[in-house]
Amino acid sequence: MRKSQLKKYAKLLAKVGLNVKKGQTVFIGAGLDQPEFVAMVVEECYKAGASEVYVEWSYQPVEKISSTYRTLESLSEMKPWVKAKWEFKAKNYSCRLFIESEDPDGMNGVDQNKMSAARRAIYPQVKPYRLAMENRHQWCIAAVPGKEWAKKVFPDLPEKKAVEEMWKAILHTSRADGKNPVQAWKEHNADLDARCKYLNDLRLKYLEYKSANGTDFTVELNPEGRFAGGKEKTLKGRIFNPNIPTEEVFTSPMAGKAEGIVYSTKPLSYMGELIENFSLRFEDGKVVEVKAEKGEALLKEMVSMDEGAGKLGEVALIPYDSPISESGVLFYNTLFDENASCHLALGSGFNECLNGYENYTDEECKKRGINESMIHVDFMIGSKDMSIVGVTQSGERVQIFKDGNWAF
């Protein structure tokens, strides 16, 4: 991959993803897969005015070994130095960038019951720090190709060629393969803004989903809610793009208000394992039945992580003819695959999807219908024939999606 194009991608993450401003501090979390590119991002953050850029490296094989040999008690304990690190990040880092590259199957064989129990124990210890950062920091998730991930996506290619093709796929779907990725994202955000405005002006009460694969599902939207997409802003008004790529227009529905059945249309990578060809049945707003050809036990564990794990925190609308879908690439990674088609998310909702959320405490947002959970897991349900009908507060029925794409 040409270094000049990678520099444009690095600039995109610094200037559009994080939107680093003069004097801000930046935290970057990354694997060991593409250190040269991470160095490019660090430099672009400094060029944008950052006063400090700190990189924290991770390595999935070591994480797997540690998860295998450590006891549940050990995994459930937040060491003093870990607590201090969370406190420091919450207070001192204005911007956070997470660069994904891990093997989708990299945690196969780990005791997932032990890992779930550890997550339950750690969550309440970490939650205060996450709340301290929520809507106050600029953040972004993006990706680079790891060797194992690239071979999973392109299994018939030699490793070097697979990584090259992975770079091409990531840059193309991230709108970062042209002459001016920053301008391309400005235009993309304008389109998403227009679609959000149209949907918000409708004042929808329900969305009804139907597909030939059996999906027949209704979800109630929040009367105080709003659709969002593309760029977001902090409580201080700093603009940033949390996901690169993104194609979605999304909102958080009323917690516990969903009925019917949905069928997955792409595999779900969760906790380093794949769940494939699955369905979820909702009654009274909560998952009451799950089926999967692969990973059913893990899926059942996921929806029972806590009280909110089996409820919806997000509904997202993405056209079937999105760049990711048209690429024909199955990424086995939610950041990309969720933007190939419409998806739902189990678990935690977004406070910022409430109008006036900045005037509410976290607890008040939950009382107004935003779901609470330690997880937020997106799974894809969009199909080429999907129909989505919106029902307004006055009872009018409006076609939102037809044949898998926007109807407006």
Nearest to 28 by CA among 52, 7, 3: 52
Angstrom distance (rounded) from CA 149 to CA 83: 31
On whether residue 189 sits in a domain, the answer given is no
Verify that 212 and 314 share a domain, yes or no.
Answer: yes
Verify that 114 and 245 share a domain, yes or no.
Answer: no
**What is residue 272's predicted lDDT score, i.e. its pLDDT?**
83
Verify that 226 and 152 share a domain, yes or no.
Answer: no
> What's the average model confidence in pLDDT over 398-408?
97
User: In terms of residue numbers, what domain contains 31?
Assistant: 3-173
Angstrom distance (rounded) from CA 241 to CA 228: 12
On whether residue 12 sits in a domain, the answer given is yes
381-401: pLDDT as tens digits: 999 999 999 999 999 999 999
CA distances from residue 156 to 101, 184, 324, 336 in whole angstroms, order as listed? 19, 32, 20, 21
On whether residue 179 sits in a domain, the answer given is no
Verify that 151 and 224 share a domain, yes or no.
Answer: no
217-253: pLDDT as tens digits: 999 999 999 999 999 999 999 999 999 999 999 999 9
Verify that 157 and 203 share a domain, yes or no.
Answer: no
1 falls in which pLDDT band (50, 70, 90)?
confident
Percent pLDDT > 70 in the chain is: 100
> What's the average model confidence in pLDDT over 186-211?
97
261 falls in which pLDDT band (50, 70, 90)?
very high
Q: Is the pLDDT of residue 121 over 90?
A: yes
Verify that 266 and 372 share a domain, yes or no.
Answer: yes
Between 371 and 273, where is the model more confident? 371
On whether residue 178 sits in a domain, the answer given is no
On whether residue 187 sits in a domain, the answer given is no
Retrieve residue 69's tokens.
């040999």
Verify that 201 and 146 share a domain, yes or no.
Answer: no
405 falls in which pLDDT band (50, 70, 90)?
very high
Verify that 36 and 169 share a domain, yes or no.
Answer: yes
Verify that 119 and 213 share a domain, yes or no.
Answer: no
- Cis peptide before 145, with omega less than 30 degrees from 0? no
> What's the average model confidence in pLDDT over 334-351?
94
Placement of tokens 């806590």 in the chain:
306
Q: How many CB atoms lie within 10 A of CB 233?
A: 13
Run of H or E residues at 137: none
- Which of 157, 173, 189 is a domain's end point? 173
Verify that 162 and 206 share a domain, yes or no.
Answer: no
On whether residue 258 sits in a domain, the answer given is yes
Retrieve residue 94's tokens.
């204005």
25-52: pLDDT as tens digits: 999 999 999 999 999 999 999 999 999 9
Q: What letters, b where the CB count within 10 A reaches 16 and e where it falls short, cover 200-209?
A: bebebbbbbb
Q: Is the pLDDT of residue 206 over 90?
A: yes
Angstrom distance (rounded) from CA 5 to CA 102: 22
Verify that 262 and 306 share a domain, yes or no.
Answer: yes
Q: Is the pLDDT of residue 294 over 90?
A: yes
C-alpha dihedral, 59 to 64 to 66 to 72, nearest 10°: 140
Verify that 15 and 92 share a domain, yes or no.
Answer: yes
On whether residue 376 sits in a domain, the answer given is yes
Domains in the chain, number? 2
Q: How many CB atoms lie within 10 A of CB 89?
A: 18
On whether the pTM is more than 0.85, the answer is yes
Placement of tokens 């199957």 in the chain:
105
Angstrom distance (rounded) from CA 377 to CA 275: 12
Which residues, at least 6 apart from 68, have a Cβ–Cβ distance to it below 8 Å? 109, 110, 111
Q: How many CB atoms lie within 10 A of CB 263?
A: 18
Placement of tokens 């409708």 in the chain:
202
- Which of 117, 139, 173 is a domain's end point? 173
**What is residue 362's predicted lDDT score, i.e. its pLDDT?**
93
13 falls in which pLDDT band (50, 70, 90)?
very high
Angstrom distance (rounded) from CA 96 to CA 81: 20
Q: Is the pLDDT of residue 21 over 90?
A: yes
On whether residue 93 sits in a domain, the answer given is yes
CATH number reported for the structural domain that contains residue 165 in this entry: 3.40.1830.10
- Which of 173, 207, 226 is a domain's end point? 173
Nearest to 299 by CA among 257, 271, 333, 320: 271
Please tell me whether residue 94 adopts helix, strand or coil conformation.
Answer: coil
Retrieve residue 346's tokens.
């189990």
